[in-house]
Amino acid sequence: MNRELISVIDEIGRQKGIDKARVIGAIESALQTAAKKRFGQAENIQVEIDPKTGEISVVSKKIIVETVSNPKAEISLQEARQYDSEAEVGDEIGSLIEMNELGRIAAQTAKQVIFQKVREAEWEAVQKEYSTRQGDLVTGIILGMERRNYLVDLGKTEAILPIQEQIPRETYRRGDRVKAMLLEVRRTPKDVQVILSRSHPQFVAKLFELEVPEVMEKIIEIRSVVREPGDRTKIAVTSREKAVDPVGACVGIKGSRVQAVVRELRGEKIDIITWTQDPRVFIAEALNPATIEKVGIDEEKKSALVVAADSQLSLAIGKNGQNVRLAARLTGWKIDIISATEYEKEKVERDKEIKAALAEETEAQRLQEEARQAARAEEATSG
């Protein structure tokens, strides 16, 4: 029995990555709970397990007094000296409790508490390990689906890829390997949940970090990433070294690096843009793949008016406004786009309005001058 207990403790420790002393402590606590349930909560019962032999000792400890007022916690000097002839008042004396006295209910309680304590220790180990890896890429194996959420085996624990963190229209089968970003570790009353994401913008940033050594080495900095998962991503990059082209490095020879990321994202389009402090240039670049003719900005309102060639207008706006929407999120500017024809038409209208306003002003000045001359003439006549 004792050897079997130590064998079980060692096995739990190996499988769950839990310290042996922690498992023993959990079992001692469980047996103590069971013993108190059997003999009463007021009993001062202590349980110890020898970590080498597995021998279990359950001891009921009482204080030696002259007059007993609480039999569960106290023992008379006369009775104590039956066990220890040198016992004195104020000493603590213990008596062994046979394990078979705990009974079936106590044993079942011990089993439940042991299970719970081991689970708690396992949760703490998972939380400790994976909390430090938030934001990292992880690879796991799909175990199945539960309420539209994928269950993923990470080796030491199971993780969840929730429906809202999945790339739309992406499906997996049991046994498929999946790469994701470790988004969050949540502690709940029932367990520890490791949450994964494939839709988060930083998942793309981490993929580029994996594929582009210059990003890993911090030579190239990813300044901003925006996504509409499954459709398009825009990523703004800058280089800390003038000799390194940030866009070229991320694209790779014949597009090898960016294509590796695109394959992982199942064909999601990726626009790589050079980040710059000049908002006009940055906004024009952010509207890639469209070619932009002019960019006017209002710094106070942080808004921009963009002029695109007629042939480039629909490309600049994108399907359902996606391209301009992502560009606005990437740059942080409100962007309005008009065609070159519309711009010229508005320019002509503005010129007309300006000429009309100038003509009105000239006419007003003429009338004012005539009025002044008339007043002076009247004043001279009356004088």
SS3 track for 258-312: HHHHHHHCCCCEEEEEECCCCHHHHHHHHCCCCCEEEEEEECCCCEEEEEECHHH
Architecture of the domain defined by 1-128: 2-Layer Sandwich (3.30)
Q: What is the pTM of this model?
A: 0.68
* CA separation, residue 164 to residues 71, 196, 207, 229 (Å): 61, 10, 20, 11
Do 201-275 and 295-382 fold alike per CATH?
yes
Q: Helix (H, G, I), strand (E, B), or coil: what is residue 181?
A: strand
| Contact present, 251 and 272 (Cβ < 8 Å) | yes
So where are the chain's domains? 1-128, 133-197, 201-275, 295-382
Give whole-number Cα distances, 203 to 226, 228, 259, 286, in Å. 11, 12, 15, 20
The Cα–Cα gap between 210 and 259 comes to: 13
Residue 167: DSSP 8-state: P
On the 0-12 / 13-18 / 19+ scale of CB atoms within 10 A, 33 is buried
**CATH value of 201-275 in 3.30.300.20, 3.10.20.30, 3.10.129.10, 3.20.20.70:** 3.30.300.20
Long-range contacts formed by 120-124: CB under 8 A, 24+ apart: 120/26, 121/16, 121/18, 121/22, 121/23, 121/26, 122/16, 122/17, 122/18, 123/187, 123/191, 123/192, 124/192
Q: What is the pLDDT along the chain (383 residues), one digit of tens a residue?
A: 466 667 777 776 676 666 777 777 877 787 787 777 777 765 678 888 887 877 777 887 888 888 888 777 788 877 777 777 777 888 887 777 776 655 455 456 556 666 777 777 777 778 887 888 899 999 999 999 998 999 999 988 899 999 999 999 999 999 999 999 999 998 877 778 899 999 999 999 999 999 999 999 999 999 999 999 999 999 999 999 999 999 999 999 999 999 999 999 999 999 999 999 999 999 999 999 999 999 999 999 999 999 999 999 999 999 999 999 999 999 999 999 989 888 888 776 766 667 767 777 777 777 787 777 777 777 777 65
Q: Does domain 133-197 have CATH number 1.10.3720.10?
A: no
Phi, psi (deg, nearest 5) at residue 84? -145, 110
SS3 110: helix
Structure tokens at 304: 């921009």
Q: CATH number of the domain at 295-382, out of 3.90.660.10, 3.40.50.300, 3.30.300.20, 3.20.20.140? A: 3.30.300.20
List the end-to-end C-alpha distance of the chain, in Å, as a whole number: 135
